[in-house]
């Protein structure tokens, strides 16, 4: 998932914004043409061309309007009526994964359940309910500020379909084939030993995981598009693959999302909202969500408990430091410096690592578009500078903007970026396996800020820029 802290919120929106800006810098919308009257006065070649072109067009237009339209209008009307009525009845015929929260409220007795119920503690975006012989996964936050929830009923393979399911999407578990439209799902699959079930990914270019990358390159795993911001999904290829489940993220703008189209053709598409979680542990808890499709949520839950313990142990180390270091993040871009707000994923990690993040009091979980001079004034003397965009060396930073040299952290060389693990094509492991390993990220941060607290640890995702 490419949603870094700075880009997190914008990730889903930027294509739309981009569309607007493209139309702005286009050489001219139609009104910029000279008014039509000028054409007739031009004389010369253009005039002839225009008449030559328009002649057949008008003839064709006449043919279309007079001959075709008159005969076909009644037929068209009938066809249209048929299509409309078919569309109206279609939803009941198609598997309809979307239900409202209210309709999934059929209460079954949890005591009959053989499995220990798992409590979701940190993730705010999904719930897991145990019924007699099946489970209900509800994604309550499929995208930011969503008013719609998505419900998925997981029934054991071959079991009877429970009556109270309604029209929620039903998936037989354990699934045997899995399509991942975000790289963040790989580490969770790996944790439960199910990376082999991966049959297709959205894009092969930016994968970090060497085994997945190799399989995608050699064609053992299909590349089907449909990831956020990337090429649109190859629906035909997906239909051919006929996977048991397709997992994707969604922005809530139907035109930009892949799930409506897949839903329409009856493919089992499941929305994963991991990138919306503000807390690192909440994001990692989505491993249980993924494992549930394989019936392995117990295993994932135990792994998660161990992760929480590791995370809290390390965090406790840094909780009592006497002098907290001050931290600045990200870089300027053309005068705008996107700074993660105080309740964002990045800010929470910094807080848990015992650092004084300079914008930790700013409310919100997105990014603040600050001016360069504001950031300079506040962070000139910050002890550490983290996550400076695409930079891999101090020279890179200077090349972006010579004014960066004025920061104290730059002068003392305390600049660290999370690009220690990058594939040749630019796939960053921080955004891939980092989601599943927030304890390792936290250890990196504490090692950077207070090396004496973790003498054994060597930096994993982070590296110091030189």
Partner 1 sequence: MPTNAPTEVTPNNSQTTPRSRTVGFGVFALLVLLLALAFVVSLSLGSVSIPLREVVRILTGEPALKESWGTIVLDFRLTKSITAVLVGAALSLAGLQMQTMFRNPLADPFILGINSGASLGVALVVLSLGTAGTALLAGLGTLGDLSLALAASVGAGLVLALILLVGQRVKNPTTLLIMGLMFGYAASALTSLLIYFSRPERIHAYTIWSYGSFSGVTWNQLRVMAPVILVGLGVAVLLTKPLNALLLGEDYARSMGLNVKHARFFILLSASLLAGTVTAFCGPIGFIGVAVPHLCRNLLRSADHKVLIPAVILVGAIAALVADAIAQLPGSQYVLPINVITSLFGAPFVIWVLIRQRRGATSFTV
Residue with Cβ nearer partner 1 (18 or 60): 18
Cα separation, 203 vs 222, in Å, equals 9
Interface map 284-303 toward partner 1 (x if CB under 8 A): --------------------
Binder to partner 1 among 419, 433, 437, 463 (CB under 8 A)? 419
Cα separation, 308 vs 352, in Å, equals 13
- Which residues are CB-neighbours of 66 under 8 A, at least 6 positions away? none
Q: Which H or E run includes 38?
A: helix 36-42
Interface map 367-386 toward partner 1 (x if CB under 8 A): -xxxxxxx-xx--x------
H helices of 257-296, where?
259-264, 280-284, 286-292
Binder to partner 1 among 246, 428, 436, 445 (CB under 8 A)? 428
Q: How far is CA 240 from CA 234, 237, 378, in A?
A: 10, 5, 56
Cα separation, 85 vs 93, in Å, equals 13
Residue with Cβ nearer partner 1 (48 or 240): 48
Question: Per CB under 8 A, does 25 bind partner 1?
Answer: yes
Question: Per CB under 8 A, does 4 bind partner 1?
Answer: yes
Query: Shortest distance, CB of residue 207 to partner 1, whole angstroms?
Result: 12
> Interface with partner 1 by CB under 8 A: which range of 33-41, 76-84, 209-217, 239-247?
33-41
Question: Per CB under 8 A, does 401 bind partner 1?
Answer: yes
Binder to partner 1 among 174, 356, 396, 457 (CB under 8 A)? 396
Question: Per CB under 8 A, does 363 bind partner 1?
Answer: no
Question: Per CB under 8 A, does 254 bind partner 1?
Answer: no
Q: Would you call 222 helix, strand, or coil by DSSP?
A: strand
Cα separation, 406 vs 213, in Å, equals 40
Q: How far is CA 161 from CA 132, 136, 402, in A?
A: 12, 13, 65
Residue with Cβ nearer partner 1 (147 or 424): 424
Question: Per CB under 8 A, does 332 bind partner 1?
Answer: yes
Binder to partner 1 among 48, 313, 399, 412 (CB under 8 A)? 399
**HSE of 293 in the Cβ direction (CA atoms, 13 Å)?**
31
Binder to partner 1 among 34, 75, 84, 163 (CB under 8 A)? 34
Binder to partner 1 among 72, 85, 115, 336 (CB under 8 A)? 336
- Which residues are CB-neighbours of 393 under 8 A, at least 6 positions away? 465, 466
Residue with Cβ nearer partner 1 (378 or 457): 378
Question: Per CB under 8 A, does 230 bind partner 1?
Answer: yes
Tell me which residue of 6, 10, 5 sits closest to 229, measured CA to CA: 10
Instruction: Label residue 249 exposed, middle or buried (CB < 10 Å: 0-12, 13-18, 19+).
Output: buried
Binder to partner 1 among 180, 228, 291, 394 (CB under 8 A)? 228
- The alpha carbon torsion through 82, 88, 93, 99 (nearest 10 deg) reads 160
Q: Computed over its alpha carbons, how large is the radius of gyration of the chain?
A: 27
Residue with Cβ nearer partner 1 (239 or 425): 425
Interface map 38-77 toward partner 1 (x if CB under 8 A): xx-xx-xxx-------------------------------
Residue with Cβ nearer partner 1 (28 or 105): 28
**SS3 letters for 294-352?**
CCCHHHHHHHHHHHHHHHHHHHHHHHCCCCCCEEEECCEECCEEEEECCCCHHHHHHHH
Q: Which of residues 201-220 bind partner 1 (CB under 8 A)?
A: 205-206
Question: Per CB under 8 A, does 250 bind partner 1?
Answer: no
Question: Per CB under 8 A, does 22 bind partner 1?
Answer: yes
Binder to partner 1 among 110, 156, 335, 413 (CB under 8 A)? 335
Total residues contacting partner 1 by CB under 8 A comes to: 72
């Amino acid at each position: 998932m490419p949603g870094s802290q700075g880009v997190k919120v914008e990730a889903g929106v930027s294509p739309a914004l981009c569309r607007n800006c493209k139309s702005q810098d286009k050489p001219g919308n139609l009104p910029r043409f000279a008014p039509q009257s000028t054409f007739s006065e031009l004389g010369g070649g253009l005039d002839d061309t225009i008449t030559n072109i328009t002649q057949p067009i008008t003839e064709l237009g006449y043919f279309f309007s007079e001959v075709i339209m008159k005969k076909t209008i009644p037929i068209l009307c009938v066809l249209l009526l048929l299509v409309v009525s078919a569309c109206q009845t279609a939803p009941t015929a198609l598997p309809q994964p979307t239900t409202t929260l209210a309709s999934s409220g059929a209460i079954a007795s949890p005591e009959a359940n053989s499995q220990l119920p798992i409590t979701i503690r940190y993730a705010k975006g999904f719930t897991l309910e145990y019924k007699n012989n099946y489970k209900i996964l509800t994604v309550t936050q499929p995208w930011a500020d969503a008013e719609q929830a998505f419900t998925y009923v997981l029934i054991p393979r071959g079991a009877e379909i429970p009556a109270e399911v309604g029209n929620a999407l039903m998936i037989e578990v354990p699934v045997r084939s899995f399509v991942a439209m975000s790289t963040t799902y790989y580490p969770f699959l790996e944790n439960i030993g199910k990376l082999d079930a991966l049959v297709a990914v959205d894009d092969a270019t930016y994968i970090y995981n060497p085994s997945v990358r190799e399989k995608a390159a050699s064609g053992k795993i299909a590349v089907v598009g449909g990831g956020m911001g990337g090429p649109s999904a190859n629906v035909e290829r997906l239909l051919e693959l006929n996977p048991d489940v397709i997992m994707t993220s969604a922005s809530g703008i139907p035109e930009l999302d892949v799930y409506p189209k897949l839903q329409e053709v009856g493919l089992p598409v499941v929305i994963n909202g991991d990138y919306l979680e503000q807390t690192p542990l909440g994001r990692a808890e989505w491993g249980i969500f993924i494992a549930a499709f394989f019936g392995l949520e117990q295993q994932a839950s135990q792994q998660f408990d161990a992760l929480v313990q590791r995370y809290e142990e390390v965090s406790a180390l840094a909780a009592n430091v006497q002098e907290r270091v001050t931290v600045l993040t990200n870089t300027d871009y053309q005068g705008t410096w996107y700074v993660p707000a105080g309740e964002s994923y990045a800010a929470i990690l910094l807080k848990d690592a015992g650092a004084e993040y300079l914008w930790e009091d700013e409310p919100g979980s997105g990014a603040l578009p600050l001016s360069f001079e504001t950031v300079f004034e506040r962070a000139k003397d910050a002890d550490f500078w983290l996550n400076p965009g695409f930079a891999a060396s101090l020279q890179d930073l200077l090349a972006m903007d010579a004014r960066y040299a004025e920061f104290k952290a730059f002068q003392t060389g305390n600049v660290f970026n999370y690009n220690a693990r990058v594939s040749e094509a630019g796939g960053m492991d921080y955004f891939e396996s980092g989601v599943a390993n927030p304890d390792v990220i936290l250890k990196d941060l504490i090692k950077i800020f207070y090396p004496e607290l973790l003498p054994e640890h060597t930096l994993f995702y982070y590296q110091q820029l030189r």
